[in-house]
Every structure is written in structure tokens, then in C-alpha cells.
Structure 1
Amino acid sequence: MVTLTRLDSAQPDFQARLARLLQFDDAADAAIEQTVAAILHDVKKRGDAAVLEYTERFDRLPAASLASLEINAAQLQAALEHLPADTRQALEAAAERVRRYHEKQTLASWTYTEDDGTVLGQKITPLDRVGLYVPGGKAAYPSSVLMNAIPAKVAGVGELIMVVPTPGGDQNQLVLAAAAIAGVDRVFTIGGAQAVAALAYGTATVPQVDKIVGPGNAYVAAAKRRVFGTVGIDMIAGPSEILVIADGNTPPEWVAMDLFSQAEHDEMAQSILLSPDAAYLDAVAAAIDKLIDEMPRSEVIRTSLTNRGALIKTRDLDDAVAISNTIAPEHLELSVTDPDALLPGLRHAGAIFMGKHTCEALGDYCAGPNHVLPTSRTARFSSPLGVYDFQKRSSLINVSQAGAQTLGQIAATLAYGEGLQAHARSAEYRLVHK
């Protein structure tokens, strides 16, 4: 039996209990921070030699040179060609759907001309080089390769460098095949904070990138946080989350398994169900107890649901929407008869899965939208990874002589007000004195 937290939004202490449920301490362990800081400094100073030493120490992978840890294009293609036919077909179908969706996100440069001939606009430029971190070892996610690499390629990124740890030299062929399909340019079998450092600072072998994306463990997250500013990063992701709003018309077993789908990630993942139907909450709880022992990761699921999961009775569906906005979940399932009716009221969610047939797992692999989503309530101010994360915007300003007369007067007046005389006189030089 799984003991889940049961809450009722009508209770006077509900908000306080909800706040405790959502509380998550994402502060990095001091020992991790100290270790990561030392690794980053060492790689910045010694480059290839330091990366090789850490790779041998942490991944049990000795190598004569960092160049010998690079996987070439022929090896990536061989990994793809040796996949079972059904696996390759599924991977290629997922890649095509992800590519098609992200092609809708591309931004274009634009300009407009004012009456006096001044031209203003915006120039869109893809990043030159991006680093993609992909977990290795037991946690091998080819879907993450597709979700991170394909938007970068659609954006027009010049070069995509992937790093993936291979403990003991064990290479995951599905990950390499995904890299081939997604068009990754170079792959190095390195991982951990040392790989983040190599990408951020560059070494004799690994080129410096402009941005680092992709998930990793606590050491990788701490390293990404520390190199931000030297390079861009996508986000610092916390444990995975799912919030389901249900009206009671979805089979309880379906919703139970949807809650499992996030709980199986790790013990800190969070799965929450909101429903105004108390009997339905009881039915889902019974389905959880019935199904959990069938799951290979049952202990992880059990711990996650017990420590961070919840079944919450709401006053009605509008109340559920309000609570959802407070939670700002990574994944939000609207398992209701009319999901469109709830959509206008929803303000904060990484991805919204609409209708009982739209399980979150489809979004993880093949629906098309990106599965790299804001966690830990950051959906209040951030968005899914997309093409726009691999493009930057430059302002275009081409002031005509006539425009300089108007703008020069405005700028000079404001500059004198700020006590910046050189600014003012620079603008005044462009004025035509009659």
C-alpha cells in the first residue's frame, strides 16, 4: 500500500500544507560545490590533461589523448545502421515530428522605415557553436539528444558538440544513433563537471562553445551554474514533476500510471492529482496500490509518491486551475472532458497535455514539442527549450539625416539631464545648424 498525502482545498490550513508539499531545497551540497569549483579551475588551467585525468578517475576510461575519445561520424552512422529496424523507425519518426514542430518556431529578421527615412529593425543570428551534455551510463536518454540537438540545428547553429560519459568505455548505441539522426557534428566520450569545463573554456581538443544545454547529475548542474556568464546555459533543472487535473471521466488506472511515469524518474520527483471528485481520488489511490508492484522501479515510485506525491480534493475545476497556477508544474495533464474550457485560466505550466488520451509520456518522446521544461515553479517566468534558445537578436538602427535632427535634440536634452555631456555633444554634432 502507498501512503500518499491527502489534501482538501476547503480546509483552512490548505495553503500552508500545499507550500510544505512544494518545498524543495535545491541548494547544492557544499562538498559538491567545492569539488566542482576545483575541477573547473583545473580544466581551465591544464585543459586536455586535466580532462583525461578526471575521465580515467571517474569513468574508469584511460586514454592516451582527448582526441582518442572522440567518436567520428562513421561510428555514429554505424550505430544507426545497426539498430533493430523497429527501433530505428521509432527514433526517426520521433526526430521528424520534433523537427517539424520546431520549424514553426524559427524567427526572422525584420525592419521598418519611419517617415523621415530612419530604418529600425532586428537581426536574427544563430549561435556559432553549442555544447550538448547527454547523461551516460545507466541514465542514457536518446530522446534528450533529439530534443536538444534538433532545435539547435533548426535554428542554424554552426557546430554542435556533444559530450557523453561512457563509464568503463560502455557506449550506448541508441544515444549515438540519435546523434547521427539529429545531425550532431562532434561527439566526445567525456562527462561530469570536467566535460562542462571543457565546453565552457575550451581545450586544445575540445572547442569552446557559446552555450551549454542538456541534463546531468548534481555535479553537472553545479558546473553549469558556475560557468554561466562565460557561456550561456539552458536552465538548472530540478526533479521532474507532473500535475494532473481530472474530472473523474478518465479510467483511474490511466491516471495512476501517469503519476508513476514521473515518480519513476527518481525519489525526488513529484506527482500530484487534483480533482473535485473525492470518490475518484479514492479510485486512483486504489489503482496505485493495484499497479505499483508490477513496476520494475516500484521502490523508487513508492518513495517518490510517499514523500512528495499528493491527492488533492478541490472545490471544482476552476479551483483546480487556480491551484495549478500556484504550483506552476513542469507537466500539466488536463484529463477532463473539455480541456479547452480550462485553458484560458491557466497561466503557468511548462507543457499542457490536453484530454485523457494525451499522456505526458507522448510528449517525452514523440509528440513534437520539446520535453526540456522548466521545473521547481520556474514555469512562472520561463519556457520550454526551443529554437529561440539557439538564436540571438541584434538591434538595427540606421538613422537618416532628417531623423538625426529630431532624435539628436531628444538625446541631447536627456543626456544633459543625466550629466553626460559627451553623449549630448555627440548627438548635437549631427544637427544641421541653419
Structure 2
Amino acid sequence: MNAPASDLLLRRLDTASPDFEAQYAQLFARMAEEHAEIDARAADILADVRARGDAAVLDYTRRFDHLDAPNMAALEISQAELHAALAQIPAEQRHALEQAAERVRDYHQRQMQQVGQSWEYVDADGTLLGQKVTPLDRVGIYVPGGKAAYPSSVLMNAIPAHVAGVVEIIMVVPTPGGERNPLVLAAAAVAGVSRAFAIGGAQAVGALAFGTATVPKVDKITGPGNAYVAAAKRRVFGICGIDMIAGPSEILVIADGTTPPEWVAMDLFSQAEHDELAQSILLCPDAAYIDAVAAEIRRLLPGMSRQPIIAASLSGRGALIQVRNLDEACELADRIAPEHLEVSAAQPRLIADRLRHAGAIFLGAYTSESLGDYCAGPNHVLPTSGTARFSSPLGVYDFIKRTSLIEVSHAGAQRLGRIASVLAHGERLQAHALAAEMRLDHDLKA
């Protein structure tokens, strides 16, 4: 049973405490995202989908989504239905979708200009070297559809793929009980989804990875899902690409005490309401301000529509941590490497310049994390569980690939051939060496 707001016990930690490291270890003990039972079940589903294709997908859709479709055609969501949903949603929702899509598209177009261009140069020997950038042919985007509907995830996955030049974008989204969310379908129309299927879970991942008679095989799968989806994505990596293994949502707020405490409390709620396993943390050097935030949490929580989920998240994985100073807050934030990092301070850039590891950094009191989720422009598909130390947000670079270009001139073959010959003989790879040596002192144009 979830604790009522008045009894909510949110961890209070202090970095100056002798037992802080032990408390920290308990707070950040990484949950096993791939329990043996879940992984084994996902493996069985994938094997079945690989063997039986559409028939297996239909069976699991009946079992898990309680949707008894006669065939896969009944689970495909037509372009007409996507655009009908766009035409029928309230004008306010349509305007918000289109404005958000415009900002997300603009951001990723700028990103494409920076990272998505081919280039080449000619060195002193006349050898051409370079890189050719090409989009993937077909990608699958997984849109969650269990506890809530996520039209924003459609925009964040499909738009960068579209900007990158992906030819075909296949969307899968679970529709428990057969209920198709019109805002999700409208988002697919706005974002340029090519085909959409009302399927989810490990079976949808398998259908995209292996291909069936109805669902096309894709080159890469992106988008978050539940533990079964995560386990399935991990298992199909190598058959196709994946973006990342997404864990529960996270937010970390560094506060200097200048932001209204109710704003910070609500920002902590904004991730806690996703899932009981989500994690919300405040770092602040001011004990009185931490008290004020705690008081606002108690005051605001009873009025939240997802109060039980928020309460479970905050009491189970949340924390209010007093640090010695903002320098220590930055050090601890880098150690945590959170998905979302808010710098809620009077001079946020001074603090942000010291930070290295986060999925996204939100600067200043007015920059709520929720704006990044929906409409700021940067992608909201972010690394979790500390993987921001070595991973990046989803972007156009996830939908393009790089091919090296090498065109060696006659002069270059003379110089490079001798280098390659020495190294190849050192590795005892005779054919490598001879292939380079055969081109020495031979001019085909002479």
C-alpha cells in the first residue's frame, strides 16, 4: 500500500554525514533491469515470432493486449486513419502537436548540418580520403502505450529519422483492449510515419527485427518500453541496431535556493509520476531550502492525479541531499550521470560549465524538464541508469551511418604500400603484404 502524503518518507541525506557513502550506495543500487525470468520469457517470445511470424504476433496480442484480431491487416493502422485522427483532434491539441513538431524538426535539422554531412580531402600524395554519410533504409520506432499514451515519443523518434533521410519509418504501439489513442495517431501523421501497427511488447520488437509476412524487417529499432521490450531489444541487437536500453525515468535538480520551492517540488513530481521505479533527487547546500521543498512535496502531493505512483517513486527511490556547496553538487551530479539534470539557480551557466555527464541539462528556474519532454526541440529519448557517462541522446546520428572513402593515387601507393608491407609482414599476413607490394613501382597510366 502506498503511504499517504502526510506520512511520505523521502530520504534526507547529507554528504557531510559519516555514513553518506553507505546511504548513497543503497540509493543508487542499480536495479537488475533484466531479471532472469523476464529475459527468458522475452527470448521465448522472440524465438516464436521468428519461427511463426504473424501467427505468433497475433497470439501474443490476444494474450497480452486482450485484442483479438482476425489477421495482421486488422492491426495495421492506415495512413487514412492517422490523418483522420489529426483532422479530428481538438484544434488546441493539433496546434500544440504541430508547434512541437516544428521545434523538434528545426533542432534536428541543425544537428544534421553539424554531424550528418559527407566530407573528403586530398592529401599531399594525391590520395583522396573522406567519409560518406548515408541514412538507414528502414527503421522501427517503438512507442509505449501501457500506463499512458505518448504522442511526444512519436515526434522524438520519427522526426530525427525523417530529417536524417530514412526512407521508411515503421511505428509499433500497443493498444490494450484495442483502444487507439487519437493523439498518438495524429502525431504519427505529423511526424511522417510510413506504416503503423497496433502491436507492442517483445513480440513487436521481434516482428521488427526479424520481419514477418506483414511487418517489414528494419535496420534499427528505437524508442523506450517496459522490461520485456528492453530485454527483447538487447537480444535482437546484432540482427538489427538499437538505440539504447532505457531504464526508469530520472531527474536530478541542483538548486541554489533562489527558485520557488513549489516549482522544484513539481519538477521532482514530473518524473516520479512516470513510474514507481522513477528516481527524483534534489541536491542543495541550503538545509532550510530543502525543508521548504519537502514541505511543498507534502502540500502538493494530495492534489496529484497520479499521487500513488509519485508517492511510491519518491519514497522508494527519491532523495533530498544536502551538499557542502555547489561545487560538491556538481561532483555528485557527474557521479550520478542522470537522465535529466536541472540547474535551478540564479547563474545556471556558471554551474553547468562544471558538469560533464547528463542526458540533458536544463538551465535556469524557468526551464522545467517537462518543456524538454514535449516541445523545446532537443530529443527527450535520453540515456538512463548512469549510461550518460558514455551515451548520448537520440538524434539524427542514430539514423545515419558513416562509410569511409579511400582513393589512393599512384604516388600514395608507393608511400603507403611500403608502410603496409612492413606492418603486414609483422602480423604474418603475407597476402596483405603482397597486395600492397604488387602496386609498388607500377604505374597503370604509363
Band the TM-score falls in, shorter-chain normalisation: over 0.9
Establish whether residue 55 from structure 1 lines up as the match of residue 61 from structure 2: yes
Establish whether residue 205 from structure 1 lines up as the match of residue 211 from structure 2: no
CA distance in 1, matches of 2:363, 2:152: 22
Partner of 1:102: 108
Shift of 1:42: 1.0
Shift of 1:137: 4.4
Partner of 1:404: 413
Asked if 1 retains the 8 angstrom alpha-carbon contact of 2:33 and 2:247, the reply is no
Aligned residue for 2:402, secondary structure, equals strand
From 174, 178, 182, give the equivalent of 2:187. 178
Aligned residue for 1:370, secondary structure, equals coil
Which letter does structure 2 place at the counterpart of 1:4? Answer: L
From 64, 67, 90, give the equivalent of 2:73. 67
Asked if 2 retains the 8 angstrom alpha-carbon contact of 1:137 and 1:170, the reply is no
Shift of 1:30: 2.2
| Alignment of structure 1 residues 12-411 onto 2, 5 Å | 12-106=18-112, 107-411=116-420
1:317-336, CA deviations, whole angstroms, 9 ceiling, x for partnerless residues? 11110110001010000000
Partner of 1:422: 431
CA distance in 1, matches of 2:260, 2:54: 55
Establish whether residue 3 from structure 1 lines up as the match of residue 25 from structure 2: no
- Segment drifting more, 227-236 vs 5-14: 5-14
Aligned residue for 1:273, secondary structure, equals strand
Structure 1: 5+ residue stretches without partners: none
Partner of 2:3: none
Cα distance change of structure 1 residues 151 and 433 upon mapping to structure 2, 3 Å threshold: closer
Equivalent pairs: percent with the same residue?
69
Shift of 1:377: 0.4
Asked if 2 retains the 8 angstrom alpha-carbon contact of 1:274 and 1:311, the reply is yes
- Segment drifting more, 392-401 vs 10-19: 10-19
Asked if 1 retains the 8 angstrom alpha-carbon contact of 2:142 and 2:224, the reply is yes
Asked if 2 retains the 8 angstrom alpha-carbon contact of 1:270 and 1:304, the reply is yes
Aligned residue for 1:345, secondary structure, equals coil
1:58-91, CA deviations, whole angstroms, 9 ceiling, x for partnerless residues? 2222223212321111111000000101011011
Taking only aligned residues, the RMSD between alpha carbons, in angstroms, comes to 1.2
Which letter does structure 2 place at the counterpart of 1:58? Answer: F
CA distance in 2, matches of 1:137, 1:249: 38
Asked if 1 retains the 8 angstrom alpha-carbon contact of 2:54 and 2:213, the reply is yes
Aligned residue for 2:353, secondary structure, equals helix
Cα distance change of structure 1 residues 433 and 145 upon mapping to structure 2, 3 Å threshold: closer
Asked if 1 retains the 8 angstrom alpha-carbon contact of 2:66 and 2:176, the reply is yes
- Segment drifting more, 15-24 vs 343-352: 15-24
Asked if 2 retains the 8 angstrom alpha-carbon contact of 1:4 and 1:306, the reply is yes
CA distance in 2, matches of 1:318, 1:308: 24
Structure 2: 5+ residue stretches without partners: 1-5
Aligned residue for 1:215, secondary structure, equals coil
Shift of 1:186: 0.2
CA distance in 2, matches of 1:271, 1:58: 30
Asked if 2 retains the 8 angstrom alpha-carbon contact of 1:26 and 1:238, the reply is no
Shift of 1:14: 1.9
- Segment drifting more, 196-205 vs 43-52: 43-52
CA distance in 1, matches of 2:64, 2:9: 38
CA distance in 1, matches of 2:376, 2:267: 16
Shift of 1:171: 0.7
CA distance in 1, matches of 2:308, 2:123: 65
Aligned residue for 1:123, secondary structure, equals strand
Shift of 1:129: 0.2
Aligned residue for 1:44, secondary structure, equals helix
Aligned residue for 2:394, secondary structure, equals coil
CA distance in 2, matches of 1:197, 1:367: 33
Asked if 1 retains the 8 angstrom alpha-carbon contact of 2:61 and 2:67, the reply is yes
| TM-score, structure 1 normalization | 0.98
1:332-362, CA deviations, whole angstroms, 9 ceiling, x for partnerless residues? 0000000111122101000000000001011
CA distance in 2, matches of 1:280, 1:62: 54
Number of equivalent positions: 434
Runs of 4+ in 1 over 6 A off after TM superposition: none
CA distance in 1, matches of 2:164, 2:42: 31
Shift of 1:190: 1.2
| TM-score, structure 2 normalization | 0.95
